Chains A and B, each alone.
Chain A
Amino acid sequence: MREIEFTIDPATGELTIHVKGIAGSDCADVAKLASELLGTPTHDWNTPEYYLRPQVRRRVQPRRKP
C-alpha cells in the first residue's frame, strides 16, 4: 500500500508532505500533483531511505580445523 503523509502545523499553517514507498515515475507524479495544488516546494529532499540500496554481505565462516 502506498502512502502520503501530510503534516499540518496549525500554529504556522505550514505543510510538509512525506511520500513513502512510491517508486520512480509514480513518486514524480505525486510530487507533480502536490506542486499543482501547492506551488513550488520551499524544500524538496529525499530521505536516507531513498538512497538505500540492498546490501550484499559476504558471510565469512571460520575454517574448520582438519
Chain B
Amino acid sequence: MSKYLSFNDIVFKDRRLLLSALADLGYSQIEEGDTLPLFGYRGDRRSETAQIVIRRQHVGPLSNDIGFAHAKDGYRPIVSEFDQRTLRDGHFLVQLRTAYSERVVEEVKRRLHGTAQRQVEGGVVKIRVRF
C-alpha cells in the first residue's frame, strides 16, 4: 500500500512544534495569550489580534509585530507585507515552514520509535523514517 499526502497551505497545526520551529530560526522571545494586540513599527495598533506574537523589537528595527492567529485548522501567520518582503531576505515564511516540517519529521520519528535517514536530492531534502 502506498499513499501520498501533500501540505501546501501556510498553516501551522501544532503549537509546540510551531514554537520549536520559531526557536530554530532564532525567535525565542514569544508572547502567548488569548487575543494579543499587534503593533506596527511606529507603535500603531493593528486591527488583528493573535495568540502567538513575536514583538517587533525581536524581529528587526523597522519590522512590525508578527502574529499567529489560532483558527480551526491551526495557527495562521500574520506578517506585514513589508516583513514578508524583507525579513530573512523575503524568505521568513518559507524558512519557517521548512523548520516546522523538520520538526514534524522529528515528532513522527519519535512517536513511531523509528530511525531516520536524511539526504539531499536535486535541491529537496528527503528524510526516510523507518519503523
Chain B residues lying within 8 Å of A34, measured Cβ to Cβ, are 5, 104, 108
- Is B6 an interface position by the 8 A CB rule? yes
The chain A residues found within 8 Å of chain B, CB to CB, are: 1-24, 27, 31, 33-47, 49-50
- How far apart are the CA atoms of A46 and B2 in the complex, in Å? 6
Q: How many chain-B residues does the 8 Å CB contact rule pick out?
A: 41
Min distance, Cβ B88 to any Cβ of chain A, angstroms = 12
Question: In the complex, what distance in Å separates the CA atom of A4 from the CA atom of B6?
Answer: 13
Rounded to whole angstroms, the CA-CA distance of A7 and B7 in the bound complex is 11
Apart from A24-B1, A36-B13, A44-B4, what 6 extra A-B contacts exist at CB < 8 Å? A3-B128, A6-B128, A7-B125, A18-B2, A35-B13, A39-B11
